[in-house]
Structure 1
Amino acid sequence: MTDLVITNATVVTCDAMGTVIADGGLMVDNGRIERIALSADLEAAAASARRVIDGTGYILMPGLINTHCHAADSLFRGLVEDLPLEPWLQTVWKAEGAILNPETCRLGSVLGFAELLLSGVTTVMDMFWYPSETVKAARQVGMRVSTGGIFFDPPGVTGHDLEGRIAEAEQFFEEFGAAEDVFPAVLPHGAYTVAPENLKAAKEIADRHGALFSTHAAETRAEQADITGRYGRSVIRHLDHLGLLDERTVLAHCVHLDDEEIDILARTGATAVHNPMSNLKLASGFARVPEMLAAGVRVTLGTDGAISGNDLDMWMALRLAATLHKAVSAKADAVSTAQALAMMTSAGAAALNAGDRIGSLEPGKLADMVLVDVKRPHAVPMFDPITHLVYSTAKSDVRHVFVGGEQVVRDGVLTRHAIEETIEDVELLTPKIAASIA
C-alpha cells in the first residue's frame, strides 16, 4: 500500500528536461518518490493509498534549496542598518558576542528555519556558531541542513583557537556524518578572517570526510583590495592557489569577479551562491551571474542572514536573480526563467553533492516537495507555471510542505513545532539584543 498519492496538480519537476505535467501527481512510499504520472494513471494507486491529497489549484514542485544562510542571525533582524559590509560586520559581531551562546543560537536558528520551511525551503546550507545546535533546530521544525565546524581566526563567539575549531569540526562529523537529514560541511568564514594555513586545514578536514567546503568570497571591492594587498592575488585566485576550489566548494556571493576568475570557477567546478537581496541592501554590487552561467559555472541561490536582508525570502531572491541582471546588462534574456528556477532547486542540490536525492521530483528521490497555491488573484491567468513561479509567486502562496514524505507544513502551519513559543522567547530577549549595540 502506497503511503501518499497527490493528484490533479500542475507538476513542475525541475528535472533535466524541464518536465511539466499539466494534470499530474506522484506516489510516495517510505519517504521517496515512487512514480510521477498523469492523474488518470494514478487512480488505482490512489484507491488503495494510505493518504490522498487533491492538488487541484496547486503547483507541485520540489522543495527549495537555500545554499547560503545564517539562520540564527534572525535574532538581529533590522538591528544594523544603512552601512556597507565592513563597518556593518563590526557592529554585527559586537551584538553576536553579547547575545549568542548555544541556547540563543538554537533559538535564533529555530526562528530562521521556521521562516524558511513555511516558505517552502526544505534544505538550507547554514554557517553559524555551535553547528550541533543548528542541526537540533533544523530537526525541531523538520528540515534538512548542511552545516558543520566554523573556522574564524579571532576568538569569536565560541572563543576557540585553531585546535578548538579543528576539534569541533571533527566532532561534527562523528556526530552527524551518517545522518540522512544532514549534509556535513566545513565552513571557514572568509579569506579575510581566516589565514591561508587555517583555510587549508579546514579544507583538509572536508576532503578527508568527502564533505562540503563553504566560505564567503569576493563579496565586496574592499575585500578584494584587502586580499590582493595581503597576498598579491585576488580572492578567487588566492583560494585557487591554496587548492581550495573543487566541485564540493560552495562560495557565497562572488560579486566582484573578472573574466579569469569566472574561468577559474568553471574549471574547478566550484559553486557560486548568488545572494541578491543581501548584495543590494549592503551596497555590495551586482554579481556577474549571466557571465558565470555562460561560462558553465554552477550558480545557486541564497538569502544570506535576516540581519542583512531582513527576511529569509527565497522567492524574493529568485525574482531578483531573474530580473536584476536584465537591467544591469540591458538584455531582456540575460537570465532565463528555467535558469533562475534551477538555481534554487536542481543546481542547489548539485552544489550540496545531493543531486541524486533532492532538487527535483523524480522516482527514487526523497519526497521533499511543496504545494504552491495558484488560486489567488495574482496567480491567474497562468499560461506557464515556470514563469509563474519565478515572477509571480510569493512565500505566502506555499501552503503545504513535505520532507521525506512527512508533511511538515499543513495549510501554512508547522506540524512539528509550535512557533508561538519561539516568538515569545525571542520577544523576551529583544531588549537585551537592542542594548547590545547601545
Structure 2
Amino acid sequence: MSRKWLIKNGTFAVLDQERPVIQGYMLVEGDTITYIGEERPEGVEGAESFDGKGLLFLPGLINTHGHAAMSLLRGYGDDMVLQTWLEEKMWPMEAKFTAEDVRAGTALSVLEMLKGGTTTFLDMYDHMDEVAKVAQESGIRAVLMRGAIGLCPPEVQDQKLNEAIAFARNWQGQADGRITTMLSPHAPYTCPPEFIQKFVQAAHDLDLPMHTHMSETRAEVEQNVKDYGVRPVQHLLNLGMFSRPTLLAHAVHLTDEELDILAAHQVTVSHNPGSNLKLASGVARVPEMLKKGIVVSLGTDGPASNNNLDMLEEVRLAALIHKGVSGDPTAVPALEALKMGTEYGARSVFLPETGKLAAGMKADFIALNTEQAHFVPKTDYVSHAVYSAGSGDVEHVWVNGKQIVKNRACLTLDEERIRYEAQEAFDGLLTR
C-alpha cells in the first residue's frame, strides 16, 4: 500500500488565472497528488501530516535546456562572443572530458538544481550514461539525450547516431519513470542536413520527441541562409524535424513567418534569458510567441554561459526583460513567467503529469520559506515568488512524492564530496 500524507496549513500556488493561490490542504498518495483544496479532505485519518505554516508551495521548477557537466567550466570563459567562446574556450576543454568528468560536473549541477527548487531538468551532452546514473541516484526527474555534433567523418557520425539511439532506448522510463529520453542533433549549423534527417527517422522509429539549438545568434541565421538558402525554421521543416514533437532551445532571431510555422507545428521553445543576455545573443520574441499559442518554457543553458542554475532567477528575468525591451509592463506578467518555469516547462518537454499542483499530477513540488523580510507584507504570493524570491528561499523539495531536500539540505547527495570531486576534475582538465 502506498504512503499517504497530508500537508496542512499550507499556502499553495495552484496558478489558476482566477485564483492563483489557495490556503488549505494537499494530500499525497505514493508519487501522486490526490487532493488540493481549502477544506480538509475526508478519509485521511491515520495519514502522516506535515505542517505547511510559513511555507509557500510551488510546482517544482523545470529547467528545459542545459548541459549539466559544463559546471566544470563555470567562470573559465566569460564576456565573450558565442562562437569565440565555443571555439577557443569550451570545445577544446570539453574535448578532454572523460566519463568521470561528466559525472562530477553533472553531480555538481544536480545538487545546485535540487537545492534551488528544480525538480526536472533537460540535459543534452556526451557520456550520457553518467548523467542518467546521477539522475537515478539523486531522485531528480530528468529528460536526457545524447547531443550530437555532425562536423565529423561519416563513420563518426554513425557512431554518434548509434550512441544516441542506444541511450534513448536503454534509459526511456527508467528510475521509476523519472527518466525520459529524446533525440538531439546539436544544431542546424553543426549538423549536415542528412545527419539531421537520420535523427528524425530514428525519432520516428523510437516514437520519441526531438530537441536542438536553433537561431541563437544572428550570425548563425545568416550562415544558414548562406549555406542552405533558407532560415533555420524553414530548414528544419524541410528536413522533417517538425513531423516529430520538437523542443527548440533559444529561438532568439525569428520572423513573423517563422513564428507562424512553429505555432502550426506545435513546436515548443526553451527561452534561456540569462544565457542569451550573458552571451549578447539577443532577446527572444517571447510575448509574440505566447500570443500565437507557442508553449514557451525556461532554461538556464549550461552553467558556463549563465553561470548558475537558479531557475527562480530565470523566471524573474523572463518577467523583466520583455517589459524593458518592449516598453510594455504587461508583456510577460508574473503569473505567466511562473507558469513558464513550471507548467509550460512540463508541456514543452512532453511531461503532461508534472508542472502543476493539482489532483492527478505527479508529486513534484517545492516549499519556499516565507518567514523572511522580502515576503512581507503578504500581498501577492505569485508576485513575491517572481520578483522577490531567490533559490536560497527553497526550504524543501519533493520529487515523485519523495522528499529530496529537507531544511535546505539534500538528502540523496553528499554535498561536500561532490564539491571536492568537481574541483579535482577541473584541476585535472587544466593539466591534461
TM-score range, shorter chain: over 0.9
Q: For residue 387 of structure 1, what is the aligned residue in structure 2?
A: 383
Say whether 1:276 aligns with 2:273. yes
1:366 Cα deviation from its structure 2 partner: 1.0
Deviation larger for 235-244 or 322-331: 235-244
Separation in structure 1 between the aligned mates of residue 425 and residue 104 of structure 2, nearest angstrom: 10
Q: For residue 92 of structure 2, what is the aligned residue in structure 1?
A: 94
Q: For residue 41 of structure 1, what is the aligned residue in structure 2?
A: 40
Say whether 1:14 aligns with 2:21. no
Q: How many residues align?
A: 428
- 1:15-414 counterparts in 2 under 5 A? 17=17, 19-38=19-38, 40-42=39-41, 45=44, 47-49=45-47, 51-90=48-87, 91-98=89-96, 100-154=97-151, 161-179=156-174, 180-245=177-242, 248-355=245-352, 357-414=353-410
Separation in structure 2 between the aligned mates of residue 415 and residue 3 of structure 1, nearest angstrom: 20
User: Structure 1 residues 31 and 152 mapped into 2: Cα distance closer, same or farther (>3 Å)?
Assistant: same
Task: List per-residue Cα deviations over 1:398-430 (Å, max 9, x = no partner).
Answer: 010001110000011110111110111122233
Contact 1:191 1:235 in 2 (8 A): yes
Contact 2:101 2:425 in 1 (8 A): no
2:65 is paired with a residue whose SS is: strand
Separation in structure 1 between the aligned mates of residue 65 and residue 389 of structure 2, nearest angstrom: 21
Separation in structure 2 between the aligned mates of residue 177 and residue 141 of structure 1, nearest angstrom: 17
* TM-score, normalised with respect to structure 2: 0.95
* TM-score, normalised with respect to structure 1: 0.94
Task: List per-residue Cα deviations over 1:185-223 (Å, max 9, x = no partner).
Answer: 011110010111111111221222221200000000110
- Matched AA of 1:262: L
Separation in structure 2 between the aligned mates of residue 197 and residue 343 of structure 1, nearest angstrom: 33
User: Structure 1 residues 330 and 137 mapped into 2: Cα distance closer, same or farther (>3 Å)?
Assistant: same
1:381 is paired with a residue whose SS is: coil
2:113 is paired with a residue whose SS is: helix
Identity of aligned residues (%): 36
2:134 is paired with a residue whose SS is: helix
2:428 is paired with a residue whose SS is: helix
Contact 2:119 2:399 in 1 (8 A): yes
Contact 1:62 1:361 in 2 (8 A): yes
User: Structure 1 residues 274 and 235 mapped into 2: Cα distance closer, same or farther (>3 Å)?
Assistant: same
CA RMSD of aligned residues (A): 1.8
1:263 Cα deviation from its structure 2 partner: 0.9
Separation in structure 1 between the aligned mates of residue 333 and residue 393 of structure 2, nearest angstrom: 22
- Matched AA of 1:8: N
Contact 1:2 1:48 in 2 (8 A): no
1:134 Cα deviation from its structure 2 partner: 1.0
Identify unmatched segments of 5+ residues in structure 1.
Answer: none
Identify unmatched segments of 5+ residues in structure 2.
Answer: none
Contact 2:168 2:183 in 1 (8 A): no
Separation in structure 1 between the aligned mates of residue 145 and residue 234 of structure 2, nearest angstrom: 25
- Matched AA of 1:319: R
Task: List per-residue Cα deviations over 1:361-389 (Å, max 9, x = no partner).
Answer: 11121111101111111111121111111
Q: For residue 417 of structure 1, what is the aligned residue in structure 2?
A: 413
1:18 Cα deviation from its structure 2 partner: 6.0
Separation in structure 1 between the aligned mates of residue 98 and residue 3 of structure 2, nearest angstrom: 44
Contact 2:81 2:279 in 1 (8 A): yes
Separation in structure 2 between the aligned mates of residue 2 and residue 92 of structure 1, nearest angstrom: 46
Contact 1:7 1:42 in 2 (8 A): no
Separation in structure 1 between the aligned mates of residue 71 and residue 319 of structure 2, nearest angstrom: 25
Deviation larger for 145-154 or 65-74: 145-154
1:160 Cα deviation from its structure 2 partner: 7.2
1:331 is paired with a residue whose SS is: coil
1:177 Cα deviation from its structure 2 partner: 2.1
Task: List per-residue Cα deviations over 1:294-337 (Å, max 9, x = no partner).
Answer: 11111110000110011111111111100101110101101112
Deviation larger for 239-248 or 133-142: 239-248
Separation in structure 2 between the aligned mates of residue 340 and residue 414 of structure 1, nearest angstrom: 27
